[in-house]
A = this chain, B = another copy of it.
Amino acid sequence: MSAVKSTASNNRTVPTREEIEAAHRRIKPYIHQTAVMTSQGIDEMIGAQVFFKCENLQKIGAFKARGAMNAVLTLSPDDLSKGVATHSSGNHAQALARAAKIMNTKSYIVMPRTSPEVKKRGVRGFDGEIFECEPTLTARESTLADVISKTGATEIHPFNNYAVIAGQATAAKELMEEVGKLDVIIAPVGGGGLLSGVSLAVEYFSPETTVIAAEPEGADDAFRSMQTGKIEPSQSNSIADGLLTSLGDKTFPIIRQRVKEVVTVSDDEIVAAMRLVWERLKVIVEPSGVVPLAAALKAKEKLKGKRVGIIFSGGNVDLERAFKLMFKGV
């Protein structure tokens, strides 16, 4: 397909400005330019002008569609023909299966056998081939290695991959192109793929903008990593299930240099922010996706009078689970 321009990309070093621009051109036909929403009520609560980039309305319901698409589109024709592989139980699995299907190649997805059936259906809906394994990191990694050695597929890591990072960067680039100068952008941090991308987009396209990371208190490894200067493990105790991983050796250096601050929020604050969004903005954002808004509400004195971009990273939440969180407590 004509969109593949493997010569234009260099996925072995931190993405340049030109690489993020190329990523955006490359993936545009395959992703939504998602809506940017505003709410007078929320602006008044925070005392700032807030722009919500609705990646919950993105293809497959999360920004992950961007990075996976860019990674697949930058493979050489030979690599592309052998397919792509990853271990993921989340949105990246579906994003990668979708990107592979669009490019008419195979995707091999290693998932813990305990993954919810709905996630498996999502992957199979894009003809992804699922390999189940025990729910441990060791089992996931060895199963993936096995699949790759048998198929010759290329691993596309959910976040520790420069082509993925360049793809995620386009969410912030698009937001800034639409709404103009922002004083602050707040993005959630799990493995750091989105946050790295946002940081780079800000450096290249709006260096006067401050990047703030938002993280659950129960998985505050990024907060601790910024303090200690090395990648800290995550304790993984939060309802924000998309943010439980720790940073990678590609994402951490990018984030460490460019992110001003990490604001952590409790699960109760996450649930309150989720309910606020559903009620006021009438869009469904998953717990991980509202963490930046929860952080903005918590740290509002820092945002007073500013123009603030917030990335709603995804909307894939089981409705019944969300209901229980909102009305029966965390």
Contacts and interface: CB of A to CB of B under 8 A. Distances in A.
Interface in A238-288: 275, 278-279, 281-285
Interface stretch (A68-76, A166-174, A185-193, A320-328): A320-328
Contacts of A320: 323, 326-327
Contacts of A315: 282
Most chain B CB atoms below 10 A, which of A35, A275, A283: A283
Contacts of A323: 319-320, 323, 327
A282 B326 contact: no
A56 B278 CA distance: 12
A61 interface: yes
A37 interface: yes
A285 B281 CA distance: 11
A126 to B, nearest CB: 11
Interface of A: 35, 37, 56-57, 61, 275, 278-279, 281-285, 315, 319-320, 323, 326-327
A276 to B, nearest CB: 11
A319 B319 CA distance: 11
9 contacts: A35-B57, A57-B283, A61-B282, A275-B319, A278-B284, A284-B284, A319-B326, A320-B323, A320-B326
A171 to B, nearest CB: 16
Contacts of A327: 319-320, 323
A69 to B, nearest CB: 15
A36 to B, nearest CB: 10
A35 B283 CA distance: 12
Contacts of A35: 35, 57
Contacts of A285: 282
